[in-house]
A and B are shown apart, each in its own frame.
Chain A
Amino acid sequence: MADSGKNTIKYYPVCNGDMTLITLADKTTILVDCNIRESAKGDDDEDLFDVHEDLLKSIQKDKDGIPFVDVFILTHGDNDHCRGYKKNFYQGDPKNYSSTDKKNNLIRVDAMWFSPMIAEAHDNEDERVYQKEAERRLKLHRNGTGGKDDAGNRIRIIGYDGNEKYEDLDDLRSLPGDVVARFNDKDQDTFSIFVHSPFKEHLTSATKDKNSTSIVFQARFKEKKADTKFITLAMFGGDSDHYAWDTILTKTKKSGKDESESALDWDIFLSPHHCSWSFFNDRPYVDNKEAKKTSLQVLDYKRGTSPKVIASCKKIVEAKPNPPHNAAKKEYVKKVGDANFLNTTVHDVKNGTPQPIIFEITTQGPMKPKAAEGSAKAVGAAALGVVNSTSKYGSR
């Protein structure tokens, strides 16, 4: 149970997929991707953790009781990063949010972060809807429509344009190398995001695919505004591959921001593409067994005594690779040790259901939240299974 007055990062167990909630001490929430699956069984037959319910409990409601996330960052449009967007998040003019929407617990996205790359190739319904919503918002800003700056209409463009051009909206844009410290129209003193990617060359490259054009960013926490030291740095890589990281490494070092902004350092590294070998080299692994030096260098920017690698994927086994890859895991473990390699599916399982991995940001870096204390008094609640099911008694 995390301390409510603390900054936290929560990695949801969503099998092969990404969904992370950053919650700031002032209750600002930043959701990175979503993979909200329907109930019942998942890919690995594990009992699903109800991410939608947990998300609703973890975010704020506005004065009208409408649940909202301050910022939604979609790293890229693959299904396992935006699944459930259409069904669980509100789209359209925030003024038209209805009582039915509220009853359906639709979450309003106050500000969305959008990579023009999504416009290039949407191939699933959730991505298409995200794109449509982004276009709706962009149009408001392009036309200077009243209410364009209302919660639910805000938008930030991340990275360069592809075929669709948004030059007229450059004031809404953050490029690789930029630091963003304003979220949902509120400046943050001790939290910021360093945008690493996508780069222009990825967008225009002939071999581009969504994975090499993922938004890559570093979430940065300080203790006090004036500090130069970061108390926690968490890297989010989407599905970026080793080509993207090669570019990130080169460009960041060239700009000097590896030093001046500690832009490559990390305490938590969300392993790209669900612990895929693609972070280390081309696939298939059998043909490219050597990890690229650049990728290993990226990992060497780890800090502290126990940096963490998160593998947001199903249980990692030798067989059936394509992600996750056991070979990738081995590379990570070489860098951080087995105890600091955390797989969302197996790290913390309660009654067969994987639980989110939560970090509380302390001045000494990310830490597991304090353990929850019980008490000597206990009562059963109405939601108990026993209360909601028949109990049979008798001699026969």
Chain B
Amino acid sequence: MAADRFSDTLPAFAGNIENPALQDSLVYLRTFLGADFRILEWSEKRVAVPVNVTVDLPSLGNYNNIDIQPIEPVLLVFDVENYPVEAPKVFTDRLDFPKDKLAHLYVAVNGKPPAFCYVRGSSNEWYANKRIQDLIVRIGNWLRDAAAGELSADGDQFEPLRLEGYNGTNTYDYDQLADIVNNKRSFVPGQNWTLGLFERKDKNVASYTLVKILTLGNATTIIAEFDEEKKKDKEAADKKRYHYGYIIWNNDDQTFEEYDIALPSDWESFKVFCNRYKLDYTAFEDMVSTGDGNYYVYFPVILAIKRPANLIGFSSNIEFVNLKFKVDTDDKEGGKIINNVPVLFQSHNQPLTEAKAMQISGSTGNFPSRSVVFGCGALGSKIVMHFGRSGLTALTLIDPDHISPHNLIRHTLSAHDIGVNKADGVADAIKKMFPQSTTSKMISGPSFKDGLFDKPETFENYEWVFDFTASEAFFNKLAVTKSMEKSQVCSVSISDFGNLGIMLKEGEARNPRIDDLQAHLYSQYRNDEKIEEWLARERAAASTGNLTVHVGVGCNSETTILSDEKVSGHAAFIAGAIKHIMKKDDKSAKIVLSRFDEGENYGIQTQTINVAPFDVIQAINDPSWSIRFKAGILDQITVDAHKAKRKETGGVFVGIANYKTKTIHVVDLISAPPDSRANSVCFFRGHQELPEQIDKVNMGSGGQLGYIGEWHSHPLGPNGLSDVDMQSVYRHKAEFSEMTTPLPVFLTVVTPAGILPFVF
């Protein structure tokens, strides 16, 4: 027996259709439907064509026994003028369609059946690339999915109601309200409702934004504030239009699965709606009618419905229905609303929150609870903005500098920030993105207070320490600071005339350290031509006085020539690399490079070098010096010493010494030259081909690496330097002291007691 059809109530369309695209589609439908083809009048500007859609039903029966049938009558509704730019709407033609069990239906309006929400996003955009037959396929698939329980594409989550034809918006943080409902935080303890202060920002648009939730603690202040604004002249420029709004929920944990596509339109239907979802509105009615202080007739009312599963896109199972009441003085009497006042519905706007930013940016999180950033210049400001836009805002930004006009070429901030502290400016830009964030975590300023930098407690809470300063001085300071052993330290800079982005990310417990990574990077000239060429360019530039060779050219100088897009390119890649490391919780050390290529074609390449921890030994004679050996070096000399058995042996170290940090880095070995001689008590380190070898190191590394010291073995002891050794030390010292930058005399002995380094 055929059930009643909505189309039975529609008259046949009697007009002419002149829209050629619509004519085409109707011709197709006429062929497709044959004798059943009819054009009906839907509204003044719309026509409807009934179509029976064949639906494949699941083998084990329909999901939840939902009444989807193998043949489903639907109505395709065409806009006579705007088709096909405006996609057809598709309505069920069954009056008994199981609409309250299905998501993806639009709220029904004007006594019409509900329409299918058949695409995610804009149906007009979708239809721009589709034909009428594709739409029919799509509707068949929609109904198939409905029968299979697969309509909601997000697993077990609950689809919220689809709203159309709403009247203004209400902006509030879903999580904040869900928290109130879930924890029953009523204004009057034990009740099922609470009050919020809402602002209507545009006097011509009835859209609300939640300012604050009233609590017993803040009520007096809020009421005073409310009354203050009320007193102001209605035309006053600074007048804030405040409304008290209501949030009503059910204190039981009962959940409701049914969809209601008919939202209340007046007080009577509101009460029916509330009863359906077991929402007690008596206290609300009493408040409204005995004087809640609202002086505008319109005010927002938000109903909370508990669903059986989390709402798609939200963190909880609470669905909010956003309504707008119009209650005038005549409408209330004796604690009751006496007239059937109009009720309109609104859509919800979620203010941007960090959680939303994370979601929209596809950031899976594992963000550090707090990080500190030194340097908010061109590179730093851009990386930090990427962090902020990912929802990573638990940041303390430090930069002593202010925005100058020339900074605008490469900085993320803009002209109206000129004169603003760079750290404050960036922090402010991010804070403004999350205006309703109740947990704004951005802190900024020009510097740490004196002494704080070296206090361990200062960095205790910083999971990450970022250095974007491009300052060699700061780099050195960071390398030797003892107060950040637990932090992950990461230094980023740009070199090679802006073409090379370098990220040095330390390992666990600061080993390898940023300066180890730098030395390691230099030593890569042996394996990587591009690194060798870069170091050569740096050396050439240094000799003409253009730049220092230190990795990290300052790009804050007016004279530095570097384009914004190059800084952005490096910043974007490095921000992504950092987030990736956070996501994987990767504590290992790495060097990450991004390299622009301006050859025949413009290009960018990236490279990651993983670095194992260095072996660190204090100098025996002077513990203020640390020797940091690249992994494998100590093993190698131990093996060499062992191989020589009872004879002494030795060799030369390649590396670099830094007086500022009192560190010697050893990154390579040169074995004993062929003219070396040894017996069980003596080792004569020869020099055949040694100069050539050192020169090769020196040239290859652009002067960053060279001879740094020597080692030999004492297979039978002593466990220290012998007199003979000391004579060599004096001889070396005499020579090194004469150099412009004196080289420390660095001698290591491999003894039965272990490897013992000495620095003089």
Contacts and interface: CB of A to CB of B under 8 A. Distances in A.
Q: Do A and B come from one complex?
A: yes
Nearest to A305: B61
A258 B562 CA distance: 76
Contacts of A372: 137
Given A373-B130, A373-B138, A363 B63 contact: yes
Interface residues of B, number: 24
Nearest to A302: B59
Contacts of A232: 59
Chain A interface size, under 10 / 10 to 19 / 20 to 34 / 35 or more: 20 to 34
Given A373-B137, A373-B138, A367 B58 contact: yes
A304 B57 CA distance: 11
A304 B62 CA distance: 10
B56 interface: yes
A334 interface: no
A373 B131 CA distance: 9
A308 interface: yes
Nearest to A308: B59
Interface in A279-322: 303-308
A367 B59 contact: yes
B137 A306 contact: no
Interface in B697-751: none
A371 B140 contact: yes
B60 A305 contact: yes
A268 B59 CA distance: 9
A362 B141 CA distance: 14
Interface in A218-277: 231-232, 267-268
B129 interface: yes
Nearest to B135: A373
Given A231-B60, A304-B59, A305-B60, A367 B144 contact: yes
Contacts of A373: 130, 134, 137-138, 141
Interface string B52-84: 000011111111000000000000000000000
Interface in A107-145: none
B137 A304 contact: no
B517 interface: no
B144 A370 contact: yes
A364 B134 contact: no
Interface string B32-66: 00000000000000000000000011111111000
A267 B60 contact: yes
Interface stretch (B147-155, B487-495, B613-621, B680-688): B147-155
B220 interface: no
B125 to A, nearest CB: 12
Contact of A364 (B63, B131, B133): B63
Contacts of A380: none
A interface: dominant SS: loop
A366 B140 contact: no
A63 interface: no
Given A362-B150, A370-B144, A267 B134 contact: no
Nearest to B142: A370
B61 A364 contact: yes
A304 B129 contact: no
Contacts of B61: 304-305, 364-365
Nearest to A367: B58
Given A373-B130, A375-B129, A376-B129, A367 B63 contact: no
Contacts of B134: 373-376
A40 to B, nearest CB: 34
A268 B58 CA distance: 12
Interface in B99-133: 128-131, 133
A374 B63 CA distance: 28
Contacts of B62: 364
Nearest to B127: A376
A303 B61 CA distance: 10
A365 B130 CA distance: 31
A368 interface: yes
A374 B131 CA distance: 8
A374 B138 CA distance: 10
B59 A306 contact: yes
A365 B58 contact: yes
B184 to A, nearest CB: 32
Nearest to A306: B59
B129 A303 contact: no
B141 A370 contact: yes
B606 to A, nearest CB: 22
Contact of A304 (B60, B128, B130, B131): B60
A372 B138 CA distance: 9
A366 B59 contact: yes
Contacts of B150: 362-363
B131 A303 contact: no
A267 B137 CA distance: 26
Given A362-B150, A363-B148, A363-B149, A376 B60 contact: no
Contacts of A396: none
Contacts of B147: 364
Nearest to B141: A370
A364 B60 CA distance: 5
Nearest to B84: A376
A301 to B, nearest CB: 14
Contact of B59 (A305, A370, A371, A375): A305
Contacts of B131: 374-376
Contacts of B148: 362-364, 367
A377 interface: yes
A272 to B, nearest CB: 20
A373 B57 CA distance: 18
Nearest to A359: B59
Given A364-B147, A376-B131, A371 B137 contact: yes
B56 A364 contact: no
A347 to B, nearest CB: 13
A231 B149 CA distance: 13
B85 to A, nearest CB: 13
Nearest to A231: B60
Contacts of A231: 60
Contact of A267 (B59, B63, B138): B59
Interface-central residue, A267, A306, A364, A377, by most chain B CB under 10 Å: A364
A376 B129 CA distance: 5
A355 to B, nearest CB: 15
A31 B157 CA distance: 35
A307 B60 CA distance: 7
A373 B138 CA distance: 7
A372 B137 CA distance: 8
A377 B128 CA distance: 10
A43 B140 CA distance: 36
A168 to B, nearest CB: 43
Contacts of A307: 59
B59 A365 contact: yes
Contacts of A371: 137, 140-141
Contacts of B58: 304, 306, 362, 364-367
A374 B57 contact: no
Contacts of B56: 367-368
A304 B148 CA distance: 13
Contacts of A368: 56
Nearest to A377: B129
A305 B59 CA distance: 6
Nearest to A374: B134
B144 A374 contact: no
A103 to B, nearest CB: 33
A231 B133 CA distance: 32
**Which 7 pairs of residues, A with B, have the shortest CB-CB distance?**
A365-B60, A364-B58, A365-B59, A304-B60, A362-B148, A305-B61, A370-B141
Interface of A: 231-232, 267-268, 303-308, 362-368, 370-377
19 contacts: A304-B61, A306-B58, A362-B148, A363-B63, A364-B63, A364-B149, A365-B59, A366-B59, A367-B58, A367-B59, A368-B56, A371-B137, A373-B130, A373-B138, A374-B133, A375-B129, A375-B130, A375-B131, A377-B129
Given A232-B59, A306-B58, A363-B150, 6 more contacts: A362-B149, A363-B149, A366-B59, A373-B138, A374-B131, A376-B131
